[in-house]
Structure 1
Amino acid sequence: MQLLVNIDHVATLRNARGEGYPDPVEAAKICEQAGASGIVFHLRKDRRHIKTEDVYRLKETVKGDLDFEMAATEEMLTISKDVNPKLVTLVPESREELTTEGGLDMEKVFEDFRDRVFPAYADTDITTSLFVDPNEKDIELAAKLGSDAIELHTGTYANATTEADRNHELKRLKEGAELAHNLGMKVNAGHGLNIDNLIPLVETVPHLNDISIGHALVSSALFDGLDETVKKFLLIMNTATN
């Protein structure tokens, strides 16, 4: 199990004043030095946090896995193929949302992904992943497309307010991970994960490969430092799985 740190919100803070700091690329370096296995970023159409130039600098700098989150637009397909990251994670994107609000509607996007998106990566070494809710139908369609991996949307679990709801979502995530694994796909997970809800997730959900954590980690780093915060999350992950 690997920790990939999403550095989008370092860029958000930088952009708030239009200054050159804090630099998300420098943050990526610190995260890797502290033990993170790689870096996640989401290049949005509106460039609200990560900018195009950040992407190329991250490609030059990151030593571990680089996960390029993106909507399946022609612009992003072109940029991602040029950058050639280890992993591309296709996500839904709405201009009005504050952050990604849920998984892909696989029935809605299936034909477009089959005819246009996946063929674009056929001649590359880029690993493909689809950001999906833990629904049987969505996971089966991801496998039918030939996706190398899925990233399970953990936001509903993270936002659950009762123990019953949390347990229900953990059950869905566990079943989704088992199904994806049995269908031959790697299982990643992310969205809304923090110090408190990470332990039950990694103790319950099997076959997890990459865990993507951003907002909570960057927020904690304001008080504890980025290096120490990455180590804290890694300790939780390692302790919970041993």
Structure 2
Amino acid sequence: RVSLFIEASKEQLDAAKSLGAPVVEIHTGAYCDAQTEDDRNRELQRIGKAVAYGSAIGLEIHAGHGLNYDTVKPIAAMPAIAELNIGHFLIGEAIFVGLEAAIGKMRRLMDDARGIETGAK
């Protein structure tokens, strides 16, 4: 399947839909890099609107770029997001704590954001 990596905007979602892409990955970098709580909240709202709109027009929504333990929960809490891409952070964290521990902690945070109880370590 084709997936397009796009900014969280109606224009880019409409363009992806018109190109026939079944999946988009919403860029979360500006949210993750925000220096103030106001900026982070503004970016989170922008992403939330894009996720809702993209889902409403029939796109499968993924998200990623810059997500880490501190930023993942608000994004993971969006039920229309089918997949998160968090490879870079997890590999970096795994250098210090091991891959199983890094992935397990991230999985617990994502599941907690969605109210899912798991046995992840």
TM-score by length of 1: 0.46
SS at match of 1:196: coil
Q: Which residue of 2 aligns with 1:189?
A: 63
Counterpart-to-counterpart distance in 2, 1:182 and 1:147: 15
User: Gaps spanning 5+ residues in structure 2: where?
Assistant: 116-121
User: Gaps spanning 5+ residues in structure 1: where?
Assistant: 1-126
- Which one of 88, 105, 119 corresponds to residue 215 of structure 1? 88
Counterpart-to-counterpart distance in 1, 2:62 and 2:74: 16
Q: Which residue of 1 aligns with 2:14?
A: 140
- Which one of 234, 237, 241 corresponds to residue 107 of structure 2? 234
- Which one of 35, 38, 63 corresponds to residue 164 of structure 1? 38
Counterpart-to-counterpart distance in 2, 1:188 and 1:200: 14
* Superposed structure 1 runs of 4+ greater than 6 Å apart: none
SS at match of 2:8: coil
SS at match of 2:52: helix
Report the CA distance between 1:214 and its aligned residue: 1.8
SS at match of 2:76: helix
SS at match of 1:176: helix
> Residue type of the partner of 1:208?
I
> Residue type of the partner of 2:14?
E
Counterpart-to-counterpart distance in 1, 2:2 and 2:59: 10
> Residue type of the partner of 2:16?
A
Q: Is the 8 A contact 1:178 1:206 kept in 2?
A: no
Counterpart-to-counterpart distance in 1, 2:22 and 2:75: 22
Pick the structure with greater CA Rg: 1
- Written as runs of structure 1 = structure 2, the 5 A alignment for 1:86-165 is 127-165=1-39
Counterpart-to-counterpart distance in 2, 1:178 and 1:144: 17
Q: Is the 8 A contact 1:177 1:206 kept in 2?
A: no
Report the CA distance between 1:148 and its aligned residue: 0.5
Counterpart-to-counterpart distance in 2, 1:236 and 1:169: 20
Q: Which residue of 2 aligns with 1:70?
A: none
Q: Over aligned residues, Cα RMSD in angstroms? A: 0.9
TM-score by length of 2: 0.91
Q: Which residue of 2 aligns with 1:179?
A: 53
SS at match of 1:171: helix
Report the CA distance between 1:222 and its aligned residue: 1.0
Report the CA distance between 1:170 and its aligned residue: 0.4
SS at match of 2:35: coil
Counterpart-to-counterpart distance in 2, 1:202 and 1:192: 13
